[in-house]
Amino acid sequence: MKVVLFDIESHFTPAVMEEAMDLVRETNEYDLTQPEEGFYHFISRQPDYHVEMAFKSDGTVSAKCQCTVFKRTRQCKHALAALLMLRDHILRSRRAKSKSKHENLLLDDVLKKMTVTELRNFISTHAQSHSAFRAEILANYLHLIKKPDYHHLLLDMTPMDKFGTIKLNRNNLKTVRNIIGTLLRQAQQLLKEKALSETFQILEATLHHLYRLSIKVPQFQEQLYTELRLALRIFDTLCHQSMAPRLQHSAFVLAMDISGREGYTFLKGTKPLLLSIEPFILEEKSRLAAFQLAEKKAILDSRQQLSWASIVMRWMRLWDIRSTGKPVKAVLNRLMPDILQELSRQGDHEDVIYSLHFVQTDTYPKTILKGMLQAGLRAARQTGDRALVSRLAYQLSLSYLDTDAWDILLETDHESAQRILKVVKEYYAPATDEVADQLLLRGWSATGDKDELLGRLNAIGDMNLLIRFDDQLKTSHRTQLEDVYATHIYATREAYGGVIARQKLSNIFGHLKSIDLSAGVAEKLKLMDKKNKGGTGPQAADIRGFVFDLDGVIVDTAVHHFQSWKIILKELGADITEEDDHHTRGASRMESLEYLLTRYGIKLTHEEKEMWAAKKNEVYLEAIEQITPRDLLPGALAFLIDTRKAGLKLALGSASKNARGVLKKLAIEDRFDAILDGNDAKESKPNPEIFTKACEALQLDPAEVVVFEDAAKGVQAALAAGCHAVGLGDPMALKEADIVISGLDQSTPTLIIEQLS
């Protein structure tokens, strides 16, 4: 009888095979010898039979038994059993050896000699093989049969104990990875040939298996990720082909199934399965299912919350789905800064822009909010959305004094960039905020506004800054520049005297030489020396009157003003911050509104502004409705009484049009010699108008008057009027004042006068 050794089963009926297998089991003592190349001799003792076999070069083996059945029919169970044992022997000895080149050749040889039909038969019979050798053949050829069972193959070659626990070690891991590698190469080839459904079958099994293994044997995860990465890449390429709807559906099911598993991991550098299939998730039902899965994971998968949350965000935009659950919203809100950075890193610009709508400005610290807006600005530039670029750049320059953003603004919207400089100049006095100074200097140097540039540099008084910018000024503003340097040098000499002054000024001298200003400055210094010789310093005048601001000094209504603005701006769609308080404190109602509108980029007509200002006042009046004398700030009443006792005149100088009403509620309106309120001054603080008028009303020289103020703008107004200024509150914010105290209960009129003289 003649058979293909590696495909014996296809030559005989199952009944015959079974008989032979029984005999194999019974045969426990035998000799198998190879007297010469290609020739085998099989002698069994228990039970007794004797078969000779010859291996032909075409891969077939002929067998001859001594029994009577064989003599009659040319085949018998002995011959068949001997062949089976020979095959087992060859395979075992092959397995024992490491897989040599020679063996590969042999395998190829055998395979070449098989017809496709034989091969198919072989494969279907051996699909449950446990040998790596056979598995490799299967991996190479399984796609040729009708219903290839890759799952079975993969499961089969993965060592498991009888309880189904996967038993991978270093050695068999290599085999498993080899087989998977072979399958994936096969898949790549099939994909090239556009056999999409065949490709998918391989991917389905390998992806499932790889994820299963990487979860079950985490110690080998890193190695397995190599194949997993490849599988995911092929999957993504597959999804870019035009797949039949049925195949698309299968891919959807696969992606949902795997992604939904506990322990599912996003692999760095690969596209998540759900994003690969995203283009063909078209039905509402499927979209909802995928979205809900992502939402669920965003809440539960704490390790990968960010990635899931980014997907949720993406689908909200893409599919116009609203997330309803509170926990998801909380996660999104908490992670928003990171989501934005992540989306930005991935280059999903539209998602970044979309996500920006969800940013609740008052939830995040300033620096983080700034980062988010910057991500938004990047995205807006990438998508070429000029309006958004200019809006974000505007916001960043104004609220965060971000110079880079301002540069961008200058490029896109020259007019707005100019406006920023105007606003910043107005709200930040020179040298009160280093960043604001930087923005302005850079701004004016970019727009070529030299007067402003020099003015600011002069007011800041930092010579190092001046040195940095004076190159631009030295032709157009030479004399002014010389003046500034001369004044500084003069003052330094006065303050420190010869040696120390020279030390301090040495770099300035060097610089002046290098830009050829030395001579001019020296000339100016000579003139100054002459002028000031024998002159007297300014004399401290006698203090004869006090002027008090109202809100925040005598009564704590400043909080109500701020709260009322908060409510109004909320209605206009903006969340104002503590820092805005600094800007509205002391400013008139309309001035405050104008500031807030600019700050939050809200445009209103004149009539609308009037309407909102009136509305703010309504809210404010309602808030202070219940005020009584008990609401006077600690020490305020005593301080007013002591002022009078000390023989000083008293006035009120408030920007509030409600001042008289409030004084009435506090029952102190007759304690003042003069009351000046928001109706008496056209200009808002820091303009000195209100205090100048208060001095006039008291018939005092401003130098004889001390103003008590809680707002930086108020302090500036007092000083500009020529009065002395006592700040009440934060010494940093009020650093321009002559004296800062925390409240009127912390001092007395006589103490203040002593300190000022």
d(CA 84, CA 80): 6
* Element holding 64 (H helix, E strand): strand 60-65
Q: Verify whether residue 549 is a known catalytic residue.
A: yes
Q: Tell me the C-alpha to C-alpha distance, in Å, between residue 108 and each of 103, 137, 140, 177.
A: 9, 9, 11, 21
Identify the CA nearest to 627 among candidates 585, 589, 659.
Answer: 659
Q: How many residues lie near ligand G6P (CB under 6 A)?
A: 18
* Residue 585 in contact with ligand G6P, rule: CB under 6 A: yes
- Specify whether the backbone of 516 is left (phi greater than 0), alpha (psi in -120 to 50) or beta: left
Residue among 341 and 658 whose Cβ is closer to ligand G6P: 658
Interface with ligand G6P (CB under 6 A), residue from 412, 592, 598, 687: 592
d(CA 149, CA 127): 8
Q: Which of 7, 413, 549, 580 is catalytic?
A: 549
* Residue 580 in contact with ligand G6P, rule: CB under 6 A: no
Q: Which stretch binds ligand G6P (CB under 6 A): 52-60, 86-94, 373-381, 578-586?
A: 578-586
Task: Tell me which DSSP letter residue 57 carries.
Answer: T
The residue at minimum Cβ distance from Mg ion is 552
* Residue 405 in contact with ligand G6P, rule: CB under 6 A: no
Interface of this chain with ligand G6P, residues 701 to 740, rule: CB under 6 A: 711
**Minimum distance from CB of 587 to ligand G6P (Å)?**
6
Q: Which stretch binds ligand G6P (CB under 6 A): 291-299, 303-311, 381-389, 583-591?
A: 583-591
- Binding site residues, Mg ion, CB under 5 A: 549, 551-552, 710-711
**Minimum distance from CB of 399 to Mg ion (Å)?**
23
Q: Which stretch binds ligand G6P (CB under 6 A): 4-12, 158-166, 519-527, 651-659?
A: 651-659
* Residue 553 in contact with ligand G6P, rule: CB under 6 A: no
Contact call for residues 84 and 1 (beta carbons, < 8 A): no
Residue among 337 and 552 whose Cβ is closer to Mg ion: 552
Contact call for residues 380 and 392 (beta carbons, < 8 A): yes
* Residue 586 in contact with ligand G6P, rule: CB under 6 A: yes
Q: Which of 551, 580, 677, 710 is catalytic?
A: 551
What pairs with residue 29 in β-bridges? 46
**Minimum distance from CB of 434 to Mg ion (Å)?**
26
Residue among 470 and 709 whose Cβ is closer to Mg ion: 709
**Minimum distance from CB of 403 to ligand G6P (Å)?**
30
* Element holding 582 (H helix, E strand): helix 578-584
Q: Tell me the C-alpha to C-alpha distance, in Å, between residue 394 and each of 57, 373, 401, 454, 457.
A: 84, 11, 9, 24, 24
* Residue 584 in contact with ligand G6P, rule: CB under 6 A: yes
Q: Which two tokens stand for residue 61?
A: 């083996």
d(CA 149, CA 133): 17
* Residue 558 in contact with ligand G6P, rule: CB under 6 A: yes
Residue tagged 């050695």 (tokens):
171
Q: Verify whether residue 551 is a known catalytic residue.
A: yes
Q: Secondary structure of the chain: what % helix, strand, coil (to 5)?
A: 65, 10, 25
d(CA 92, CA 307): 49
Residues written for the chain: 757
Per-residue binding string, ligand G6P, 663-702, x by CB under 6 A, is: ---------------x------------------------
Q: Which two tokens stand for residue 116?
A: 């496709």
Binds 437, which of Mg ion, ligand G6P, none (CB < 5 to 8 A, cut-off by type)? none
Interface with ligand G6P (CB under 6 A), residue from 125, 182, 418, 617: 617
Residue among 477 and 585 whose Cβ is closer to Mg ion: 585
Q: Which stretch binds ligand G6P (CB under 6 A): 32-40, 68-76, 580-588, 736-744?
A: 580-588
Q: Tell me the C-alpha to C-alpha distance, in Å, between residue 96 and each of 55, 82, 89, 133.
A: 21, 21, 10, 11
Identify the CA nearest to 378 among candidates 416, 420, 345.
Answer: 345
Catalytic residues: 549, 551
Which spans of this chain sit near ligand G6P (rule: CB under 6 A)? 551, 558, 561, 584-589, 592, 617, 654-658, 678, 711
